[in-house]
Structure 1
Amino acid sequence: MKFLFDFFPILLFFGVFKLAEVFEPTAHSLVTTYLGGMIAGGTIKPDQAPIMLATVVAILATTLQIAYVKARGRKVDLMLWVSFAIITIFGGLTIYLHDDNFIKWKPTLIYLIFALGMLIAQFGFRKNLMREAMESQLKLPDDVWSKVGLSWAAFFLFLGVLNLLVAFVIFEGNTSAWVSFKVFGITGLMFVFIIGQTVMLSKYIEAEDDKADDKIVKDQA
């Protein structure tokens, strides 16, 4: 459930972009009519309309996420605030300057902030963010927690660099292909990495299960 909540803005971004591509004249009319006052010069080319609409929807979706969390009386995660700040600033620049290069930088900036935050916490403050997030569900030796934290930081750095390569080298000038990669490529890599992490940590998970089973047997005895 949390996975869907976290990916809510991305899924909407993708859906609106692809729909606007199919109905480009309608999308262009909507952007010109309702966003004209937010765009430098007041007008855009028809092929720029899909990314404009998708960006507006992504900003609104992230805003709704924060409003929903607050309405439930819960604390908004720092990472959600970071995502909101970046999508608002770079999405706003994308709309105002009608330049999709700004929105293409957004994933890289978020991943780099995640990676640097984890590294600074681990080496500067002796604080393993992955351990704090997962320790209540999983018990690991200190050295393993260190590897887990470093592997996630390295993975986020990799995603940040990969996004730049895809956006500005591999699919340069092809915003549609980049949007598809952003949703399916990065999400797919995330799943593969999580599965790899699960396999790597499976022996520790099994050990914890065995200890729990032994405790139950002793209690029953």
Structure 2
Amino acid sequence: MVLCRHIPLLAAAVKQFIDFIPLLLFFIVYKMDPRTVEFAGHAFELGGIFSATAVLIASSIVVYGALFASQRKLEKGQWLTLIACLVFGGMTLAFHSETFLKWKAPVVNWLFALAFAGSHFIGDKPLIQRVMGHALSLPQPIWVKLNVAWIVFFLVCGFANLYVAFTYQSIWVDFKVFGSLGLTLLFLIGQGIYLARHMQQPKPDEKD
């Protein structure tokens, strides 16, 4: 069915939105003017990088915890994102230095690139085929090219985040939240256009 061909792209968009929730809360708190908020008899400081980092950690635990509770599992990429958030966010708070948080996005992107690259040598299918192969039928050379495209994408995103974080101090949070999201959406759109050209036609007895 035609709808089935779009399920992987829709799933990727939904996953991107879920991953975006903690980042959006992080951005909102980061942009707030410093203030003290009373909650459950406790006073909390909001505004700035460190309170935003604490919100990022807490919201990530809530979001991925809810996913785990409902699905009884998390994808490996979601585990990686959550662990990276806890490690780099925790170090940012522990050492009171935003440098650790600046390394989170590059490291996560490069680890994803490594996983996609490793799938060319470990296992019988590229990683993208293992993720999307149940819903799409593509010639094997196309799966390989698509997997390479994801490797390049993650490498570029990693270096872009690193460059902006340590070169443009005033906008690195904006780029971390919205720049990365924009790059991902553009890549997904480009992937959709590419897949539309190469997807194998359904059999005559399949109905749209």
Q: Does residue 215 of structure 1 match 2:193?
A: no
In the alignment, the residues of structure 1 paired with residue 158 and residue 106 of structure 2 have an alpha-carbon distance, to the nearest angstrom, of 4
Identity rate, percent: 34
Aligned to 1:103: 101
Q: Does residue 187 of structure 1 match 2:200?
A: no
Aligned to 2:16: 3
What is the deviation of 1:184? 1.5
1:17 match: secondary structure:
helix
Over 4 Å off, 4+ runs: 27-30
Higher relative contact order, structure no. (Cα contacts within 8 Å, ≥ 6 residues apart): 2
Greater per-residue strand proportion: 2
Greater per-residue helix proportion: 1
| Count of residue correspondences | 191
Q: Which deviations, in whole Å up to 9, do the C-alpha atoms of 1:138-182 show, x marking residues without a partner?
A: 11001100000111011101100111111112x0x32xx111111
In the alignment, the residues of structure 1 paired with residue 48 and residue 123 of structure 2 have an alpha-carbon distance, to the nearest angstrom, of 43
Aligned to 1:140: 138
The normalised TM-score by structure 1 is 0.78
Aligned to 1:17: 30
2:106–2:158 CA contact under 8 A, matched in 1: yes
Consecutive unaligned residues in structure 1, runs of 5 or more: 36-45
Code of the residue aligned with 2:186 in structure 1: it is: V
In the alignment, the residues of structure 2 paired with residue 111 and residue 80 of structure 1 have an alpha-carbon distance, to the nearest angstrom, of 12
The normalised TM-score by structure 2 is 0.83
CA RMSD of the aligned region, Å? 2.4
1:119–1:153 CA contact under 8 A, matched in 2: yes
Code of the residue aligned with 1:187 in structure 2: it is: L
What is the deviation of 1:73? 4.3
Code of the residue aligned with 2:187 in structure 1: it is: F
In the alignment, the residues of structure 1 paired with residue 62 and residue 88 of structure 2 have an alpha-carbon distance, to the nearest angstrom, of 18
In the alignment, the residues of structure 1 paired with residue 176 and residue 123 of structure 2 have an alpha-carbon distance, to the nearest angstrom, of 32
